[in-house]
Structure 1
Amino acid sequence: MTIFDEIAEKTGDDQWEEWKNQVLGARDEIAAFVASRRQGDEAREFINWFEGSFNFCLQILKFLHEQTTIPVPRLISWVLTENSPQKFGPFIISDFVKRVHLSNILKDPANRQRLYLNPNIDRRTLDIIFDQIADIMLQLFQFNFDHIGAILKDPASNAWSVTRRPLTYSMNELATTAFYPIDKFPTAPFKSLTQRNLSTNAENARERYIARHLFAQLVNKYYIDDDYIDDDYRPFKLFCDDFRPQNILVDPKTLRITAVLNLEFTNTIPAQFSHKPPWWLLLAGPDSYLFRGHTIEEFVAAFEPRLEQFLQAMQRFNYAARKPFDVDVLFDNCLKEGGAGVEWLDEEARVGLEPFVQMKMKQSKANDSDCTKFL
């Protein structure tokens, strides 16, 4: 399992706590400001706050309101950093939806410490939920785009198009937990790892290097559909990395989905991602099962009945391609073929192995030294 950069995590946590305390200290000012943006409403009292990890994406929120029946909270107003109270940051004002998280309905009540699907859940409950999830996925799939990235509406033509680079969940994690420079995000696939403490010994560095390069060599064999090779992999489809039960609100009595939240990581990406069933059918993904001491066979045995219920069939996962930190774990347990050692690497990757190991060991020593001073 990849250990995140301790310095980056502590720095981020400290920055978050400082920012949160500043915001909570300005509650009355923020409440008055929000009231001023709502036509006809008087100033309201600050009631409560809810902690989330990221931001909403304003553009995709407006797109879904215009183009689909997917239930997203109504957008009331939005503000950039320079116009926000005390310049706290950009934000949106939307309706508050008071319901329960879908994950609370689906999770195992006997395992409060871990998020697992209730093994005794009523099949009809899942049918009601899965029907709605399928409808949402189909609505997202109906739109075609000719580039990969974030969509934007042209105010002159009212047309939606891809005009900016994508922002994915994994990109955010690389920036916040590995200190990847934001201004250096490439438009092409990542070719190297920048986290200094990714490996703590030379053997581990070799294993991670080999697993990632062999995983990349398997992409064309297992991942790219022939239908898209002759057309530059177009059209691209809307896809959200963070679309999961924890970000879906439901009415606990009827099980109807009332709100889909946290859509900031919605981008247009290759359609193969949208072709696959949700990875969260057991609430926890295969990596979580492996990290918690289970085997991939146990995951498959639990996953297959739910997969059968959701789509009746699935040919392969695209999960590892969206989880850059632990590709080696999923590769070793699920995709490794034959010996899958250094001899299976192509010539370019083989030449780069030892320089990579030396670089990671140098980085690891520097990281240990900095951690001693910092922590």
Structure 2
Amino acid sequence: MKTEFDKIAEEAGNAELAAWAAKVKAANEEIVTFVGQKLRTNVPGEFVQYLQGSYNVNLVISFGTEDTVIIRFPKRGITAAKFLEEKVRNEVRFLEYLAEKTVIPVPKIRDWGTAKESPSQLSPYIIMDYIEGTELSELLQQLQDDHKEAEVDLVYEQIADYMLQISRLHFSAIGPVNKDTSGAWTVTDRPLTTNMNNLASVVTDYPVDQFPKVAFTSTQAFLHYRADENLLHLQVQRNLAHSTQDAEKCFIARHRFKQLIERFYPPSEADNGPFIPYCHDLRPKNMLARYEEGSLKIVAVLDFEYVNTMPAQFAYDPPWWLAMVSPGLMLEKFALEDFEALYVPRLEQFLRAMARAEAKQKPSQQKEAISLASRMLDSWASKRFWFNHGIRKGWDVDVVYWSALHEPGDEELSGDLEREMSLIAEKKMEQLAAYEAECDARGIAQSG
């Protein structure tokens, strides 16, 4: 089954983005001057190119042979307006934290500020080093196509090392990493997630006042919040289900996810931490690499937006991207077995790379009683990998449940839930009819 965005909200966001992008283009010269002032250089700047991302636009600006930087703006209409400043501040702090606590190659931040401080008040901004390199996903796919597995091993080992470094970063709450007045790194603010941004930007009338206000100090509390967020999402998005059967399947999947929390996260001392930064987008598409001395080396890891400390088990999951395709997207089109046929051989290869990376650690770094490779294997074997993926990604929760976690008989509900499901299914069909009529009136094409 496939869930999709609200086309009305999505079109409104696209219209806002188009108007904003035109303002960015019109302000190019002002932006170049602004960056030069922030860098305190007398060398004239020159706009080189745009680098587009899903949530951001980057302008590459060159100052002769002296310096080349990018200025990064979150896209209005894609990032919910209420989250713009929060998103940028959280990313800046996490990049600064990684630069201080790890040797992961992240770009150096040169300056950052609010929308009011930006050229033409476009959007909050980050100015950071521009790093030459090719997107690693392109290079890795070519290596795999050419069956150069020894070189794939070297790439995997570098990424495994980054994941190892991050797995050692422990906190006592769930949320974004920040610095307190004493200069200590801490977590006190609410977690801002990709899912929250999507609910606020591509679901009409989602009650954003019900988002968290502060950090979580309990794994159970956080996971129950996320499960409830998915249930509220089902009630609010008018085109989430396209038939009574769809609505019932969504209802069952989202309630079962809430009931599965205790299975995958039995209450224990670990409920109160440690919590570890989880970087969902730590993947080849957000890494730059180049050949140095005949070996492919990762030279930059990018895009740490929406990173929060999360239950440690998230950091113990194997990478979801190993099959070079989104698990949720794959399950929408094919069977679980088709995904596993692509994923498992790469998982086995990555776990061997992780074991090598762990073996290379210094004795002072070998603090964990259980290896990260073993934890990752356990996550996959126990299906916690699938639970974690579904609980994080609200638009994947239904297909993940029915494809990977459902067992015969699980669809049986108590009498109260059966009655609630019947009412929800009826409500969803009424919502869908109103939604489709509004789309027709606006001339918006629909799918599903």
From 221, 246, 251, give the equivalent of 1:209.
Answer: 251
Moved more, 8-17 or 117-126: 117-126
Question: Structure 2: which amino acid aligns with 1:280?
Answer: W
Q: How many residues align?
A: 360
Matched, 1:158 2:199: no
In the alignment, residue 168 of structure 1 is paired with which amino acid? T
Q: Which residue of 1 aligns with 2:160?
A: 134
Report the TM-score when normalising by structure 2. 0.76
Q: C-alpha displacement at 1:125, in angstroms?
A: 1.7
Q: Does the CA contact (< 8 Å) of 1:250 and 1:256 recur in 2?
A: yes
Q: Alpha-carbon deviation of 1:103?
A: 0.8
Secondary structure at 1:48 match in 2: strand
Aligned partner of 2:30 in structure 1 is: 29
Indicate if the aligned counterparts of 1:169 and 1:242 stay in contact, CA closer than 8 A. Answer: no
Corresponding residue number in structure 1 for 2:309: 268
Which residue in 1 is equivalent to 2:84? Answer: none
SS of 2:439's partner is helix
Give the structure 1 partner of residue 342 of structure 2. 302
Q: Distance in 1 between matches of 2:345 and 2:351?
A: 10
Question: What's the offset of the Cα at 1:219?
Answer: 2.7
| Kept in 2: contact 1:168–1:241 (CA 8 A) | no
Structure 1 residues 163-210: Cα deviation after superposition (integer angstroms, max 9, x where no partner): 211112222222222243444313622142221110122221111111
> Is 1:53 matched up with 2:93?
no
**2:172, 2:272 within 8 Å by CA — same for their partners in 1?**
no
Q: Which has the higher helix share?
A: 2
TM-score, normalization by structure 1? 0.90
**1:368 lines up with 2:436 in the alignment:** yes
1:289-322 deviations in whole A, cap 9, x for unaligned? 2334x32112112211111111253423132222
Greater shift, 135-144 or 187-196, is seen at 187-196
CA separation in 2, counterparts of 1:233 and 1:338?
A: 34
Residues 195-274 of structure 1 mapped to structure 2, 5 A cutoff: 195-221=237-263, 223-224=264-265, 229-252=268-291, 254-274=295-315
- Structure 1: which 5+ runs fail to align? 109-116
Higher relative contact order structure (alpha carbons within 8 Å, sequence separation ≥ 6): 1
Amino acid at match of 1:144: H
Q: Distance in 2 between matches of 1:353 and 1:15?
A: 36
Provide the rounded CA distance (Å) in 1 between the counterparts of 2:30 and 2:327.
45
SS at match of 2:105: coil
Instruction: Note the C-alpha offset of 1:11.
Output: 0.8
Q: Aligned-residue CA RMSD in angstroms?
A: 1.9
Give the alignment partner of residue 338 of structure 1, picking from 381, 399, 408. Answer: 408
- Quick check: 2:289–2:296 contact (8 Å CA) kept in 1? yes
Aligned match for 2:116, one of 82, 89, 95: 82
Name 1:11's counterpart in structure 2. 12
Quote the offset at 1:148 in angstroms: 0.7
Residue matched to 2:70 = none
Distance 1:252 1:363 in 2: 54
Name the aligned partner's letter for residue 327 of structure 1: V
AA partner of residue 165 (structure 2): Q
Q: Who is 2:45 aligned against?
A: 44
Contact persistence 1:36–1:43 (CA under 8 A): no
Q: Could you tell me whether the CA contact under 8 Å between 1:169 and 1:241 is conserved in 2?
A: no
Counterpart mapping for 1:171-182 below 5 A: 171-179=196-204, 180-182=206-208
- Contact 2:144–2:152 (8 Å) recurs in 1: no
- Given residue 331 of structure 2, which amino acid in structure 1 is its aligned partner? L
Cα separation, 2, equivalents of 1:200 and 1:291: 15
What displacement does 1:41 show? 4.0
* CA-CA distance at 1:215 after TM superposition: 2.6
